[in-house]
Structure 1
Amino acid sequence: MVTVLDLNDRPRARHPEKAHRPDQEVLRKPDWIRVKAPVSRGYQETRDIVKSHKLVTVCEEAGCPNIGECWEKKHATFMILGEICTRACAFCNVATGIPTAVDPNEPESVAKAVAQMGLTHVVITSVDRDDLADGGAQHFADVIHAIRRLTPLTTIEILTPDFLRKEGALEIVVAARPDVFNHNLETVPSNYLTVRPGARYFHSIRLLQRVKELDPSIFTKSGIMVGLGEERHEVLQLMDDLRTANVDFMTIGQYLQPTKKHHPVKKFVTPDEFESYATVGKSKGFLLVASSPLTRSSHHAGDDFAKLRAAREARLAKSA
């Protein structure tokens, strides 16, 4: 059985559309999905650092099943721009409602935590901030610059919102030159109205494509969840769409329903099916494909970044 602990000890705002969804029967998790409860000394040390700097992590907010493993190794994904999202995606356990003011000291606080944890690779994500004129783009850039000032050798991966209808926002973030630009499609386009209603599939594809046009040296990355009712041919078409946008790295993981009020799990995809997706993805030209039941966007991100660089160098050497 999976042990997923709710580590949040505060009330959680919820959008009415999400909170009043009829309860669904939760499918029993199969034996191949197992995680350890977060009880190690390393986990507690990471938690203390995060709390001492008054930071938010998506590890906690989204109830990530890998939190015990990652925090034991002092790996954490920082979530900036507050802890309340302006959208109500049916799969997501992050609180939804009216956001608080942006903390101008947050970039420096994140940079100090990165230094204290000794991170060689860090992942920065955020809630959606549709209320801000630039969707939070300048804040992303400020965080990147702060980390670079304090720990210049740390490589930086960002996982951004879609900046929908925020003209010029993407350019601000790309100009800060993160090492990896990640934006998740989350699911196949046929599911968007029910799973990701505030987003637009082809806008997200175009966002990733535009990153490469602005700065080809930045690695691009995107991920999806499976088990939401998608068909295999839809996943393969999504892979083609990502490759058309010249995306380097794709992640595929099992959707796990956070509560009965969220979108139900339609299927638990087998490890063999995940392995098949990885094989097909690599044949389509991705530099790297991470595909397994517990794969998440930032899981093993540092190791994966090293693999990305090696794969790019090998491809360049082969074409020389």
Structure 2
Amino acid sequence: MNKPEDNEKFQRKPKWIRVKAPVSREYQATRKLMRDKNLHTVCEEAACPNIGECWSKKHATVMILGDTCTRACAFCNIKTGRPMQVDPLEPMNTAEACAAMGLNHIVITSVDRDDLDDGGADQFVRVIEAIRERSPHTTIEILTPDFRNKPGAIEKVARAKPDVFNHNLETVPRLYPKIRPGARFYHSLRLLDTVKQIDPSIFTKSGIMVGLGEERLEVSQVMDDMRMADIDFMTIGQYLQPTPRHAKVERFVTPDEFKSYERMGKGKGFHLISATPLTRSSYHAGDDFAKLRDARNKSLKANNKT
């Protein structure tokens, strides 16, 4: 059992990652819309520290396939258990919420659904198709699970042509048994490599958390592995312990260290890298997509001149 002093220590964070409580009208409006459409968001389920800022700007990451995950990763606050049946109205409700918010860019993620034959891939396709029909101007970013090697799952989702295909590696390979025991680092890497092989025009993206006990050299190696898989965009953020029962924070990485990771990533050739204490996969996703598209276009023009 956790002692009171342990909980007090658990709550103590450096000033550079403290955020204000969400109170704006826009935040409340976004929350109401999600409730009215019976949608879940990773913003709430994962206790994201940026929820106040993002929801105030009408940015939300919709989490499809329910709110119950079939895995129990040591870093994640989403509940684990036996999921309910897939909601057939979810694609339509997601598309309607996207239209109601007037989104230029939307992020769609999900829980792990190892109970489904395709790991939930078909629902991703249905959601992408519904958004394309209802809001053709909206660019679509997906943040998928690894689909547990379900045959044809990756291919099915990639052929639906999301604008950005994101799948997070989460941490360095050495820490997988402790932090992400239900997954395999190189399978996740192959997933993103496969997407690029199927459709090179799709931007690929992945991210890790730091502060879990990783070494700088290991982060550098993960960057090299990502570039070998032709991943365009990398995110690096500070891991924050959701509850005392989750993996503890080994240390708080300083803003200067994050800046050095950003410089390192740029030197390794990523089109875009976001590395700050509060960086999360979907944080500023719309703005980052525009930067990513501009960076690749600039790179293509430079290559054509040579």
Q: TM-score, normalised by structure 2?
A: 0.97
SS of the equivalent of 1:274 reads helix
CA distance in 1, matches of 2:47, 2:12: 18
Out of 19, 29, 52, the residue aligned to residue 68 of structure 1 is: 52
Shift of 1:26: 2.1
Alpha-carbon contact 1:43-1:71 (below 8 Å) kept: yes
| Alignment match, 2:43 | 59
In structure 2, give the amino acid aligned to 1:310.
Answer: D
Question: In the alignment, which of 275, 297, 307 is matched to residue 281 of structure 2?
Answer: 297
How far apart are the structure 2 equivalents of 1:21 and 1:256? 18
Q: Determine the C-alpha separation between the residues in 1 that align with 2:267 and 2:247.
A: 32
Output the aligned Cα RMSD: 1.3
- 1:138 and 1:102 mapped to 2: Cα distance? 10
CA distance in 2, matches of 1:84, 1:302: 27
Displaced runs of 4+ in structure 1, greater than 4 A? 20-25
The 5-angstrom pairing of residues 249-260 of structure 1 reads 249-260=233-244
Quick check: 1:179 aligned with 2:163?
A: yes
State the shift of 1:264 in Å: 0.1
**Partner residue of 1:141?**
125
1:165 to 149, 154, 169: 149
Q: How far 1:28 sits from its partner (Å)?
A: 2.3
Letter in 1 for 2:24: S
Shift of 1:27: 6.6
Q: Residue in 2 aligned with 1:9? A: none
**Counterpart amino acid of residue 37 in structure 1:** A
Letter in 1 for 2:45: E
Q: How far, CA to CA, are the matches of 1:165 and 1:119 in structure 2?
A: 32
Q: 1:230 to 1:117 in 2, by over 3 A?
A: same
List runs of 5+ in structure 1 lacking aligned partners. Answer: 1-19
Moved more, 21-30 or 125-134: 21-30
Aligned residues of 1:59 and 1:77 also touching (Cα < 8 A): yes
| Aligned residue in 1 for 2:24 | 40
CA distance in 1, matches of 2:261, 2:144: 24
CA contact (8 A) 1:91 1:262 kept: yes
| Partner of residue 12, structure 1 | none
Change (3 A) 1:179 1:291: same
* CA distance, structure 2, for counterparts of residue 209 and residue 108 of structure 1: 30
- 2:301 maps to 1:317: yes
The equivalent of 1:31 in structure 2 is 15
Does 2:196 match 1:223?
A: no
Query: Out of 220, 226, 251, which is 1:236 matched to?
Result: 220
Counting only pairs closer than 5 Å after superposition, residues 72-111 of structure 1 correspond to structure 2 as 72-111=56-95
Residue-by-residue CA offset, 1:88-127 (whole Å, 9 max, x unaligned): 0000000001010000110000000000000000000000
Matched, 1:190 2:174: yes
Q: State the SS of the aligned residue for 1:164.
A: helix
Amino acid at match of 2:116: L
Alpha-carbon displacement from aligned partner over 1:135-181 (angstroms, at most 9, x marks no partner)? 00000000000000000010000000001220100011011100000
Equivalences, count: 301
**What is the alpha-carbon distance in structure 1 between the residues aligned to residue 250 and residue 161 of structure 2?**
39
SS of 1:251's equivalent in the other structure is: strand
Distance in 2 (CA, whole Å) between partners of 1:278 and 1:129 is: 33
